[in-house]
Structure 1
Amino acid sequence: MKLLIDFFPIILFFAAFKVWGIYVATGVAIAATVAQIAYLRLRHGKVEPMQWLSLGVIVLFGGATLLAQNDTFIKWKPTVLYWLMGGSLLVGQLLFRKNLLKSLMGAQMELPEPAWRAMNWSWTGFFLAMGVLNLWVAYRFDTDTWVNFKLFGGLGLMLVFVVAQALYLSRYIKDTDNNAKDPLA
């Protein structure tokens, strides 16, 4: 359910674009993100900082797109969001000597420091690369191709990256059941 809520605005953006075009889709994305934040706030009482950031970026860049009637602004939105996320990880590590991924996920998994560092740097690099790739697609191809890339390419690359991260991290994850449920152990 959480996954559906997270992808709700982009799915509606995609559908609205295919039917009505970029400007209606942008308005739909803004409204869907506001609805997403309202739902999360009412249902869970809390909204994650990255979700607030995403709301701010879509309202700013989507609003500029609608006011100027120029789709360049909405095409920059994913890049800005990727670079803000990657920049946060970078600044946290370099300036504050704090691994933000460990702060966010440390309660869910136990990893040695070198693995946390590698994960932080790999996500930083991934977000940087995704921002550049988004701009490359936005400026080298038509808007329809960019929208398709935003949904399928961006999500596909994210999935591949997450699987690669999981494979890398699997060597560090400890078996918490101590093979108690494995009858062959």
Structure 2
Amino acid sequence: MTESSTSSSTSKTKPSAWLEFGPLLVFFVAFQILKRRNADEAMLQAAGLFAIVAVIALLISWVKHKSVSPMLILSTVIIAFTAGLAIAFENKTIFYMKPTIVNVMFGAAVIGGVFLNRNVVELLLGGAFEMPRDKWNIIAIRWGLFFFFCAALNEVIWRTQSEDFWVNFKVFGFLPLTLVFTLTQIPFIQKHGKIKDQNSG
């Protein structure tokens, strides 16, 4: 298989970025507009719209690419579930805790995978990098702890800060934080691993 055909195949199966992050931006814009009309109801209304758009994006991704990552499916289910419960019980706390639930589940899955000999990080990146198993386990544990940190951070923020601050951090805080953490792991991967030769085999 040539490099161009491989690239074409990858582009067909990889979901577009807007399908993954578009719903979050819709939530942010909707909240900013709705809070001007009714500040008390804005969060729940925006959460409901967030859930609807997230499900639509998931369906579009499946129809277009015939493939959806398990993490995207899980996060969409949690979005719809927590938003639905929050609206049904008129309780914003349930939706505030959505990032906590997601990050705890991801953290448990990543660290649990190490002990079950199913290293999630290696499964995701092993096609591009070669690295000893114990080094993959270190990376996985670091990611697991990072997810738990994000869960704890979300709890601190929604319990101590304003609704506006939480919304802004949810949309514009977690992603840069994740990117920074990812960059801090690159030296470790460069030291202990190497890029796989895609032309071998």
Match of 1:108 among 112, 128, 141: 128
Gaps of 5+ in 2: 1-14, 35-41
Residue of structure 2 equivalent to 1:2: 16
SS at 2:127's partner residue? coil
CA distance in 1, matches of 2:111, 2:194: 28
| CA distance in 1: counterparts of 2:194 and 2:155, whole angstroms | 40
Residue 86 of structure 1: aligned partner: 107
Q: Name the structure 1 match of 2:143.
A: 123
Q: Deviations over 1:56-100 (max 9, x none)?
A: 101110001111121101110011001111111122222x22212
Alignment partners' CA distance in 2, 1:158 and 1:2: 19
Is 1:169 aligned with 2:189? Answer: yes
Q: Which amino acid aligns with 2:157?
A: V
Structure 1 residue aligned with 2:31, among 17, 36, 41?
A: 17
Tell me: CA distance 1:27–1:172, structure 2 relative to 1, closer, same or farther (3 Å).
same
Asked whether the 8 Å contact 2:107–2:145 carries over to 1, the reply is: yes
TM-score for the superposition, normalised by structure 1 = 0.89
CA 1:14/1:167 → structure 2, altered by over 3 Å: closer, same or farther?
farther
Aligned ranges for residues 21-60 of structure 1 at < 5 Å?
Answer: 21-60=42-81
Q: How do 1:152-163 residues align onto structure 2 when only pairs under 5 Å count? A: 152-163=172-183
Counterparts of 1:67 and 1:11, CA distance in 2: 23
Q: Distance in 2 between matches of 1:140 and 1:40?
A: 36
Cα 1:149–1:121 shift into 2, 3 Å: same
Counterpart position of 2:11 = none
* Structure 1 unmatched ranges of 5 or more: 178-185
TM-score (norm 2): 0.82
**1:136 aligns with one of 147, 150, 156:** 156
Q: Is the 8 A contact 2:130 2:195 kept in 1?
A: no
Whichever residue aligns with residue 127 of structure 1, its letter is: F
CA contact (8 A) 2:19 2:58 kept: no
Distance, in Å, in 2 between the alignment partners of 1:115 and 1:14 is 38
Q: Say how many residue pairs are matched.
A: 176
Q: Secondary structure at the match of 1:97?
A: coil
Root-mean-square deviation (CA), in Å?
A: 1.6
Cα offset, 1:176, TM superposition: 6.3
Q: Which runs of 4+ in 1 moved over 6 A?
A: none
* Residues 92-112 of structure 1, C-alpha deviations (whole Å, 9 max, x = no match): 222x22212112221122122
1:171 aligned counterpart, secondary structure: helix
